[in-house]
Amino acid sequence: MSQTVPNLLPFVELPILFKPLALDQQPLDIQQKIAQINEVLPQTQCGLCDHPDGCLPYAAAIVINGEPHNKCVPGGQPVTDTIGQIVQTNNPPLIAAKSNWETDAITGRPQEMRAIIREADCIGCTKCIPACPVDAIIGTGKHMHTIFTELCTGCELCIAPCPVDCIDLVPISRQISADIRQIEQHDLQSRYYHHLNRVADSLTDSRHAKPVVSMMEAKINNVAAQSLDISEADAKSTIAAAKLRTKIKKLEKQLSVRPNAQKQSELTALQAELAALV
């Protein structure tokens, strides 16, 4: 009878960001173990396990590189123990990595938090939007932003990019069944993969070329360049074009507020430079 990889992880259909992991080329039993561990991880995609690209790379590192299985901070001791059963090491049980938040007496996991924006202080700079792995923030340039609390995982990734420090974390209290937790995790995973696919699409859509603004966009850009097997010179041009687009966008913004002859000629020169590159 043929074996199948459990769960939702057909490793052939992952976002391009995960291509370097080459999970679909791993032996089936390894793939199964990675999928099993990923199924247990909270899918917060917070990077606190030292894997900024999220839960799946951490699951892969546990199985392939033998990385310690106690590094998922939001998962706490319950997740560490469950992964311990999956990897079946002979070592003594590991203590889960410590969270900044108190342990919830009922779940045994760290206190759950949610982000909220102090809307009166928000300057609408949009910097928090690309930082959110589950697309829980809405808003447009120069307008107040807000967070869909029910979608927020409290991953804290939007806090550092905010230039005016107007995002706070607040504790939430809830008890959910294991089934509901699983459904939530699947939903978060699919929101994250959708987010990654959307970022990749926006970067490769030549009709709507946009500057690379976030770390995630830069990484996806690099992976895309590598997977297209373009030459080093082409890769350098891609990066140079991205930089030019960023400068052009900045100048266009400035000029839309106040005309300036010198900036206008700078913009024309940059546009010509970009046209010569692409």
Q: What distance lies between CA 158 and its chain's CA centroid?
A: 11
Q: Contact between 137 and ligand SF4 (CB under 6 A)?
A: yes
Helices (H) and strands (E) in the chain, counts: 7, 4
Residue closer to ligand SF4 (CB basis): 115 or 242: 115
Q: E strand or H helix at 62, and its extent?
A: helix 55-65
If binding is defined by CB under 6 A, does position 199 make contact with ligand SF4?
A: no
Given candidates 34, 162, 199, 212, which one binds ligand SF4 under the rule CB under 6 A? 162
Reference 55, options 213, 190, 156; nearest CA is 190
User: Site for ligand SF4 (CB under 6 A): which residue of 152, 251, 270, 274?
Assistant: 152
Cα–Cα distance, 159 to 110 (Å, whole number): 19
Question: In whole angstroms, what is the distance from residue 105 CA to residue 88 CA?
Answer: 27
Minimum distance, C-beta of residue 269 to ligand SF4, in the bound complex (Å): 30
Give me the phi and psi of 240, to 5 degrees please.
-60, -40
* Gyration radius (Cα) of the chain, Å: 21
Binding to ligand SF4 (CB under 6 A) within 167-196 occurs at 167
Q: Minimal CA–CA distance to 65: which of 97, 81, 80, 87? A: 87
Using rule CB under 6 A, residue 73 touches ligand SF4: yes
Strands 113-117 and 146-147: unpaired
Smallest CA-to-CA distance from 96 within 177, 158, 40, 151 is with 40
d(CA 148, CA 138) in angstroms, rounded, equals 8
By CB under 6 A, name the one of 123, 138, 213, 239 that touches ligand SF4.
Answer: 123
Question: Does the protein bind ligand SF4 through residue 75 (CB under 6 A)?
Answer: yes
61, 131, 200, 267: which one binds ligand SF4 (CB under 6 A): 131
- Binding range to ligand SF4, per CB under 6 A, among 146-154, 216-224, 229-237, 249-257: 146-154
At 240, which helix (H) or strand (E)?
A: helix 232-257
Among 126, 197, 222, 254, binds ligand SF4 (CB under 6 A): 126
Q: Which stretch, 25-33, 151-159, 243-251, 258-266, contacts ligand SF4 (CB under 6 A)?
A: 151-159
Interaction between residue 125 and ligand SF4 (CB under 6 A): yes
| Closest CB to ligand SF4 among residues 162, 200 | 162
Q: Is 158 in the site for ligand SF4 (CB under 6 A)?
A: yes
Binding site for ligand SF4 (CB under 6 A): 41-42, 44-49, 51, 54-55, 58, 72-75, 115, 117, 122-128, 131-132, 134, 136-137, 139, 145, 147, 152-158, 161-162, 164, 166-167
